[in-house]
Amino acid sequence: MLFAPDLHGDRQKLSPIETEASKETVMTTDASAVGHVLPGPSDDLLAKLEGIYRDIHANPELSMQEHRTSGIAAAWLRERGYDVTEGVGGTGVVGLLRNGDGPTVLLRADMDALPIKESTGLPYASDRTGTDRFGQATSIAHSCGHDMHVTWLMGATRVMAENRTDWRGTVMAVFQPGEETGQGARAMIEDGMVKRFPKPDVTLGQHVMPLSAGQIGWRTGTMLSAGDSWEVTLFGRGAHGSMPQKSIDPVVMAASAVMRLQTVVSREVAMTDSAVVTVGTMSAGMNENVIPDRALLRLNVRTFKDGVRTRVLAAIKRILKAEAEASGAPKPPEFSVLSEFPLTRNDDAATRKTVAALERWFGTDRVTEIAPATASEDFGRFGAAWDVPAVFWVIGGIDPATYANAEEAGKLDELPANHAPDFAPVIHPTLRTGVEAMLAAAGAWICPAAASSV
């Protein structure tokens, strides 16, 4: 049976598309014949969600500091009868809604914002400031769209709570802290997720991306890259700026190392593989006439294969050590891990089952297979912790006309993307699309008749 959303009527249930074959089927109101699916969000709910989204956007919180946001999510879940546990791995929230025998689905939204000064000019733009994990004062903005993720999951959990005859099983809503720093999923798991909550049959997550709003992107296998961030301290010997012969200059050492690091990808990674090595922070010294005694680099690596990851990380370490030695450094560099994100791998069978439900809801023209993205996520840690399948997909947030114009002009790379100060998804239709996508995807698992038609 094919299904498509009824876009024109008041009804928000899926309507069967009439096909040559279905004309011969006797349509009944019996759920087992037409298939139960979860309805989409009502206009009232969407209006309420829009208010919540604007509020969370204007009040972003840094990683592992999501006290206000998690409080909003927890109160919302409690209002509709979820069994809510707060403070999981810091500010994490887990809401359980048990609705008879059936599968358990874990639905995840990350909550944290970034140390970025927002420049979207939106009426609900953030002017918040705070202290980041390095102790630095910073502006804060939802430049990765996690405010949208929180709002999507709030919408989906509400629809599930209000339509319990459409599904059976257990919904586990997870509002996760600290995705940007790679701390949050690990912190929740280390706080006993696996022992304290039921084992899910599948873990589902979604992320807003710079695709055309209303579009959904998916793939099986590798979906997102692994991500590794390091802080490296290079040691020299300080001296007066006028007497370089008395120094071992860490600024030159760092500059040389940064240039040499550019050869890791270009000279050590095969053409058929890929990797990214970015030095995002380089700092040394305070005064023009003082040669400092150390330099600090923070770098970020993205890879799609374990072997490439091992090789790239080893090459980075080798180059930094060798540059220090070439400079006559008094001691070797010090390395510390800032974050580690595993590869995000989508289970083949679980992804196909989920995508079939997304296609039934949105139509195949809105659900597209995409290439792996070099973004990284810690979402995969939940599936790995329980050894159950993970499915992660992306949802467009760029105004469709803006996207189409940029595509025609060959300027898609000039559109604001996640982590840019001017990135924020358009609320419509991004908000509705994400709520519906989560409901359709979860429905593939917890709506028995829908699942059996796959």
> Pattern 298-327, binding to Zn ion, x per CB under 5 A?
------------------------------
Compare residues 57 and 353 and give the one whose CB is closer to Zn ion: 57
Compare residues 3 and 392 and give the one whose CB is closer to Zn ion: 392
> How far apart are CB 207 and Zn ion at their closest, in Å?
6
> How far apart are CB 377 and Zn ion at their closest, in Å?
7
Burial readout 99-127 (b: 16 or more C-beta within 10 A, e: otherwise): beebbbbbbbbbbbbbbbbbbbeeebbbe
Interacting stretch for Zn ion, rule CB under 5 A, among 101-109, 137-145, 330-338, 424-432? 137-145
> How far apart are CB 296 and Zn ion at their closest, in Å?
23
Compare residues 181 and 303 and give the one whose CB is closer to Zn ion: 181
Total residues in contact with Zn ion, by rule CB under 5 A: 1
Compare residues 367 and 394 and give the one whose CB is closer to Zn ion: 394
């500091």: which residue's tokens?
65
The gap from C-alpha 235 to its chain's centroid, in whole angstroms, comes to 36
Distances (CA, A) of 16 to 3, 24, 353, 367: 5, 13, 19, 18
Compare residues 93 and 111 and give the one whose CB is closer to Zn ion: 111
> How far apart are CB 379 and Zn ion at their closest, in Å?
10
Burial readout 6-28 (b: 16 or more C-beta within 10 A, e: otherwise): eeeeeebbbebeeeeeeeeeeee
Compare residues 224 and 324 and give the one whose CB is closer to Zn ion: 224
DSSP states along 420-435:
STT----HHHHHHHHH
Compare residues 104 and 303 and give the one whose CB is closer to Zn ion: 303
Distances (CA, A) of 226 to 107, 319, 413: 21, 21, 22
Q: Closest Cα to residue 114, out of 133, 135, 93?
A: 133
Interacting stretch for Zn ion, rule CB under 5 A, among 140-148, 157-165, 258-266, 390-398? 140-148
Interacting stretch for Zn ion, rule CB under 5 A, among 143-151, 244-252, 301-309, 321-329? 143-151
> Pattern 155-194, binding to Zn ion, x per CB under 5 A?
----------------------------------------
Interface with Zn ion (CB under 5 A), residue from 56, 74, 88, 144? 144
Distances (CA, A) of 120 to 61, 130, 412: 17, 19, 18
> How far apart are CB 209 and Zn ion at their closest, in Å?
9
> How far apart are CB 425 and Zn ion at their closest, in Å?
12
Distance CA 178, CA 393 (A): 19
> How far apart are CB 88 and Zn ion at their closest, in Å?
19
> How far apart are CB 224 and Zn ion at their closest, in Å?
10
Q: Closest Cα to residue 268, out of 316, 301, 302?
A: 316
Interacting stretch for Zn ion, rule CB under 5 A, among 8-16, 31-39, 142-150, 212-220? 142-150
Compare residues 144 and 329 and give the one whose CB is closer to Zn ion: 144
Closest residue to Zn ion, based on beta-carbon distance: 144
Interacting stretch for Zn ion, rule CB under 5 A, among 138-146, 166-174, 256-264, 439-447? 138-146
Distance CA 211, CA 277 (A): 24
Query: Are 204 and 354 within 8 A, CB to CB?
Result: yes
Distance CA 212, CA 248 (A): 52
DSSP state of 199: P
Compare residues 97 and 144 and give the one whose CB is closer to Zn ion: 144
Q: Closest Cα to residue 181, out of 133, 118, 129?
A: 133
> How far apart are CB 127 and Zn ion at their closest, in Å?
20
Which residues sit opposite 232 in a β-bridge? 297, 335
Query: Where along the sequence are the contacts to Zn ion (CB under 5 A)?
Result: 144
